[in-house]
Structure 1
């Protein structure tokens, strides 16, 4: 791509600290931050504002190797996206694709969030590339247009807005949002994927389950990622989480304890993080925030908020984020 735009790929690769060998060997693993830096540098040096979008147009699911085999042979699109989030660490540490409530509270609509955990900055070119790649992958899995409602982008447009609208196929592309999202019909997750091969799916999953995290992704992080993805959709239990991790409940607790954590701590921290996100970045009623973090009532959220922040959910919305360190509480929900 760089050379097609008359750039010096070798020079740019060296300038972001990558080995020249990455130009000839797709098997070399590199840091996400290095790829993001390369995208930004290339866009600037080549005066190509839509560089990340162009890169996405050159990519397809095959780029993901065995993960592509598992995704493309999943039973439904929802299962495919869940599989992507669970095993994306093989290609990108910390990156995830997760179903989240629609930020505009439109009935029958959900959103798929692309990106890193809250607080981790993703550069504009890398977001553009990843979000368009996700859109194209879903289009392929669905066999055509899938009812995309809008695209939510966390930064200002770096390319002409018409470029985004053309590539995503919708006029509703919104910028400077809190997260990178594709808003889609809720029923999309249930759409079957045609031509699936169950044996290929199971074979790919067995391979992915054997891949080491190389110490980068702890079991605690994996559990929190799973809880973040499922809060508000299924009841968060130790047994269900252990089954997702392909572990016995006692083994899961024992390994979490070895990391200085527990299932209760993971659930509490994930709920607090998600509650803070929704209270800070959306206008969701308190009752709905309680529901999407897996609590049964606004009163339950109020009790949690009192322990977490020593205030009510409504008052928390008014607190200056800079003052949060003074009101946080490290307490753990009893489980």
Structure 2
């Protein structure tokens, strides 16, 4: 069974209510926990998400439901991937990190940059959709393709030169509805869901990005890509380890990486029997011992690398950790080397 983060349902409850329906009733009918309608980090079956979109569209007589929900969604729903995307230097980098780590949001989805299916050298194809072997859900694909389109608009420009939209089905909603949202011709019954964009767009520099944040986000995503874990502790630990020596290891920064409110993050850690302060302290202790016993760095530099502003604070920490001074720990490590 493939899963998707419940963030993919953002906007579903509000859109259904606007149409006079009961989102919770639809969720229950499709086997989705009601809590998934209001949470971002629950892992739910992607087939159930596709089913609830189709059911609601049918029952409410709203064949463009996916497009409507897409208007309510934003990049933040992608969690840490959103931070990497926002700080990518070019659109090609956006697609590269999305294609590499989109599975952390939804296991069966993919986003790939490939040659234009019509052979136009000035055009490239941005193909979105489920991986081979999965059925293509109309509402889910509408939602995802519209989300990608709106994301490019926010990153580049409202008029980024979209040439056409290719749909792998014939939707029940009027084609005009699609063309009004995308601002480009829409073709149906095509081999795949594709946005055809100018090839020059791939190398166009994106403004407002932060190279350091992009690097941190990519490193964090790489750390998490080894497998999904319901525990938040490994994610916080990985984020803290990436931040040490590069940015202030503050809970607000880590919460931003995880797209969670700091108080929510503290609550989840407390449930697992720990705290942000404990995780940070352990990370500092481990890094300090490594630097003291394997390098000749000055004490002031080590203090800075583990996020401490003063060497005296570093000394107090080593006294608490090992009942010894930094110099004594270094001497002990040096004596123990071969």
| TM-score class normalised by the smaller sequence | 0.5 to 0.7
Equivalenced residue count is 215
Q: 2:58 aligns with which of 20, 31, 44?
A: 44
Matched ranges for 1:257-268 at <5 A: none
Provide the secondary structure at the position in 1 that maps to 2:128. Answer: strand
Q: Which runs of 5+ in 1 are unaligned?
A: 217-335
**CA deviation after TM superposition for structure 1 residue 212, in Å:** 4.2
d(CA) in 2 for partners of 1:36 and 1:190?
A: 34
d(CA) in 2 for partners of 1:161 and 1:36?
A: 21
Partner of 1:65: 79
Tell me whether 59-68 or 71-80 shows the greater mean CA deviation: 59-68
Partner of 2:208: 195
Partner of 1:9: 23
Partner of 2:217: 204
d(CA) in 1 for partners of 2:175 and 2:163?
A: 16
Partner of 1:286: none
Provide the secondary structure at the position in 1 that maps to 2:43. Answer: coil
1:173-224 Cα shifts (integer Å, max 9, x gaps): 00000000001111110000101111111121122111145489xxxxxxxx
**CA deviation after TM superposition for structure 1 residue 127, in Å:** 0.9
* Contact preservation (8 Å) 1:89, 1:213: no
Tell me whether 100-109 or 190-199 shows the greater mean CA deviation: 100-109
Partner of 1:179: 192
Q: 2:105 aligns with which of 78, 87, 91?
A: 91
Provide the secondary structure at the position in 2 that maps to 1:59. Answer: coil
1:242-270 Cα shifts (integer Å, max 9, x gaps): xxxxxxxxxxxxxxxxxxxxxxxxxxxxx
Partner of 2:169: 155
d(CA) in 2 for partners of 1:27 and 1:49?
A: 28
Tell me whether 112-121 or 174-183 shows the greater mean CA deviation: 112-121
d(CA) in 2 for partners of 1:215 and 1:29?
A: 10
Provide the secondary structure at the position in 2 that maps to 1:121. Answer: coil
Change in 2 beyond 3 A, CA 1:45/1:213: farther
Rg (Cα) greater in structure? 2
Tell me, yes or no, if structure 1 residue 21 matches structure 2 residue 35.
yes
Q: Which runs of 5+ in 2 are unaligned?
A: 1-14, 230-338
Partner of 1:144: 158
**CA deviation after TM superposition for structure 1 residue 62, in Å:** 1.4
Provide the secondary structure at the position in 2 that maps to 1:144. Answer: coil
Change in 2 beyond 3 A, CA 1:213/1:176: farther
Partner of 2:3: none
Tell me whether 160-169 or 119-128 shows the greater mean CA deviation: 119-128
User: RMSD of the alignment, in Å?
Assistant: 1.5
1:121-180 Cα shifts (integer Å, max 9, x gaps): 12111111111111111111113311111000001022111100000001x200000000
d(CA) in 2 for partners of 1:18 and 1:73?
A: 34
1:87-125 Cα shifts (integer Å, max 9, x gaps): 111110021110111111112111010012234212111
* Contact preservation (8 Å) 2:40, 2:77: no
Change in 2 beyond 3 A, CA 1:69/1:179: same
Tell me, yes or no, if structure 1 residue 109 matches structure 2 residue 109.
no
Provide the secondary structure at the position in 1 that maps to 2:44. Answer: coil
* Contact preservation (8 Å) 2:66, 2:142: yes
d(CA) in 2 for partners of 1:212 and 1:2?
A: 34
Partner of 1:135: 149
Partner of 2:180: 166
Matched ranges for 1:283-302 at <5 A: none
* Contact preservation (8 Å) 1:124, 1:158: no
